[in-house]
């Protein structure tokens, strides 16, 4: 027992020595660690807390960058897919809605059987001409043109009434103020009936039902309205078809899209009588006759006055641009056309670094050659955006204009 007790005591003493040595080594390690931290703080000029914050912030920056790269790659992929799908749907809608409507003339000409009829239409001291102009609100232009009279008026409904009344008077042969008044009344009733029938035809053609009868009449009046010589009723029907087809491809309510497309320019039927833009007039009229809120929003947003919040509004906006921009849809005065192209090129060449600019495709696109020494690749985007904004602010044009900047470097040498 004594021997065992002595052995245990020796082991305890040895264990205590080992503990003491371990504590000394731990203390030495702590001193070395502290000295290293002090040295690191001295070298980096950071405290422990500052170094920790620096590491965390650098890690966060790297993570944000990686996240941004990932997001951008996904966005680019989605944009490519969306653009491809959009082109497919739009081209499909255009190919299915092949319209043969071209621009209309804005002057009414009445053919006469002979030049003697001009004197009878003028009447004694011009009383017949005055009666026609007073009752219809138009201006008769009787000049040296053989066997023809031109009817001039900003309102096509009045012009149509005057044309029908004048043709009836010529056919009848009895031309005097009382007969003129009778024929003008008949022509007015005939035009009103034609307006109603045109509105009903538009509804049947687009398969849109449940429209208030007053709105049907306003749709019919669009038959006698033009925008850049494009008939507004035919344009509205075309927009309704295009919007409906694209909505069907996207799985959206096609009937609602057709309804919004048909009514999007309804304000043009009243723009002569009521002050304000045709967009606001259309919204007010449709609101009066309890139209759908989505239809009202599509009318309000079809020219970009407000941001589109629904798919239907975006489809109507796209269909409106397609219908207005297709070749042959609209025309304008030759002098105004030339001035518009010249103004377009002047705006582009006024920017520093632009060498040449060419308006092509009837003013639908402008190609701009820039000097590679003055305009780099990054600046090209800014110049294109500035030119687009200035064109939007300073010019009036149908459809849209594509701004195409071209920058190229050339090296020329001759072998002798």
Q: Which helix (H) or strand (E) holds 407?
A: strand 402-407
Q: Are residues 304 and 374 in the same domain?
A: no
Cα–Cα distance for residue pair 137/162, rounded to 1 Å: 8
* 54 part of a folded domain: no
Q: What is the DSSP string of 82-145?
A: HHHHHHHHHHHHHHHS-----PPPS-EEEE-SSTHHHHHHH-GGGHHHHHHHHHH--EEE--SS
Give the pLDDT of residue 103.
47
The C-alpha atoms of residue 5 and residue 8 are separated, in whole angstroms, by 5
State the residue range of the domain holding 287.
199-325
- Which two structure tokens, joined as six digits, stand for 253? 């309510």
Instruction: In whole angstroms, give the CA distance from residue 140 to residue 133.
Output: 7
Provide the CATH number for the domain around residue 341: 3.30.70.1350
- For 211, the 3-state DSSP assignment is coil
Same domain, 208 and 310: yes
Say what percent of the chain tops pLDDT 70.
91
Taking 80 as the threshold, does the pLDDT of residue 96 lie above it?
Answer: no
Q: Which two tokens stand for residue 41?
A: 């703080």
Structure-token match 């001039």, residue found: 152
Looking at the structure, tell me whether residues 287 and 216 fall in a common domain.
Answer: yes
Task: Count the domains in the chain.
Answer: 3
Residue 292: inside a domain, yes or no? yes
pLDDT in tens, 345-363: 889 888 888 888 888 776 7
Give the pLDDT confidence of 275-307 residue by residue, as tens digits: 778 888 888 889 888 888 898 999 988 887 788
Residues 292 and 220 in one domain: yes
In this structure, are 276 and 351 located in the same domain? no
Q: Is 237 part of any domain?
A: yes
Tally Cβ neighbours within 10 Å of residue 414: 4
Residue 131 within any structural domain of the chain: no
- Residues sharing a CB contact under 8 Å with residue 412, sequence separation 6 or more, in sequence order: none
Please tell me the least confidently modeled range out of 91-105, 222-236, 352-366. Answer: 91-105
Could you tell me the CATH number of the domain that includes residue 246? 1.10.3210.10
- Give the strand order in the sheet containing 148-152: 108-111, 148-152, 139-141
Domain boundary among 307, 325, 343: 325
Pair 93, 242: CB distance under 8 Å:
yes
Burial class (CB in 10 A: 0-12, 13-18, 19+), 122: middle
pTM value is 0.58
Is there a domain that residue 250 lies in? yes
**Boundary-marking domain end, from 325, 342, 370:** 325
Tokens representing residue 93 in the block: 């809608």
| 243 Rama class: left (phi>0) / alpha (psi -120 to 50) / beta | alpha
């Amino acid at each position: 027992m004594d021997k065992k007790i002595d052995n245990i005591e020796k082991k305890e003493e040895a264990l205590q020595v080992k503990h003491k040595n371990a504590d000394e080594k731990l203390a030495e390690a702590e001193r070395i660690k502290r000295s290293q931290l002090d040295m690191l703080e001295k070298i980096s000029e950071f405290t422990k807390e500052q170094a920790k914050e620096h590491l965390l912030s650098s890690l966060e920056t790297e993570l944000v960058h990686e996240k941004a790269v990932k997001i951008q790659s996904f966005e680019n992929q989605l944009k490519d897919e969306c653009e491809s799908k959009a082109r497919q749907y739009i081209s499909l809608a255009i190919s299915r809605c092949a319209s043969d409507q071209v621009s209309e003339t804005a002057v009414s000409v009445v053919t006469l059987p002979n030049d003697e009829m001009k004197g009878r239409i003028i009447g004694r001291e011009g009383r017949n001409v005055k009666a026609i102009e007073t009752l219809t609100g138009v201006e008769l232009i009787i000049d040296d043109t053989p066997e023809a009279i031109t009817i001039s008026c900003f309102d096509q409904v009045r012009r149509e009434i005057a044309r029908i009344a004048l043709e009836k008077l010529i056919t009848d042969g009895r031309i005097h103020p009382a007969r003129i008044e009778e024929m003008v009344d008949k022509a007015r009733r005939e035009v009103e009936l034609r307006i109603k029938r045109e509105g009903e035809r538009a509804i049947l053609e687009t398969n849109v039902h449940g429209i208030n009868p007053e709105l049907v009449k306003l749709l019919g009046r669009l038959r006698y309205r033009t925008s850049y010589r494009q008939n507004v009723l035919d344009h509205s029907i075309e927009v309704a078809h295009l919007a409906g087809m694209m909505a069907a491809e996207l799985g959206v309510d096609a009937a609602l899209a057709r309804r919004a497309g048909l009514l999007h320019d309804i304000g043009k039927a009243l723009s002569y009588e009521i002050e304000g833009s045709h967009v606001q007039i259309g919204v007010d009229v449709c609101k009066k006759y309890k139209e759908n809120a989505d239809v009202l929003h599509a009318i309000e947003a079809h020219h970009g006055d407000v941001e589109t919040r629904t798919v239907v509004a975006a489809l109507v906006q796209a269909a409106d641009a397609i219908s207005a921009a297709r070749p042959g849809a609209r025309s304008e005065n030759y002098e105004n056309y030339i001035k518009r192209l010249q103004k377009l090129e002047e705006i582009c060449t006024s920017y520093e670094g632009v060498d040449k600019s060419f308006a092509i495709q009837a003013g639908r696109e402008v190609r701009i050659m820039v000097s590679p020494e003055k305009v780099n690749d990054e600046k090209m985007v800014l110049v294109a955006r500035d030119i687009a904004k200035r064109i939007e602010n300073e010019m009036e044009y149908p459809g849209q204009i594509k701004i195409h900047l071209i920058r190229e470097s050339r090296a020329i040498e001759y072998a002798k």
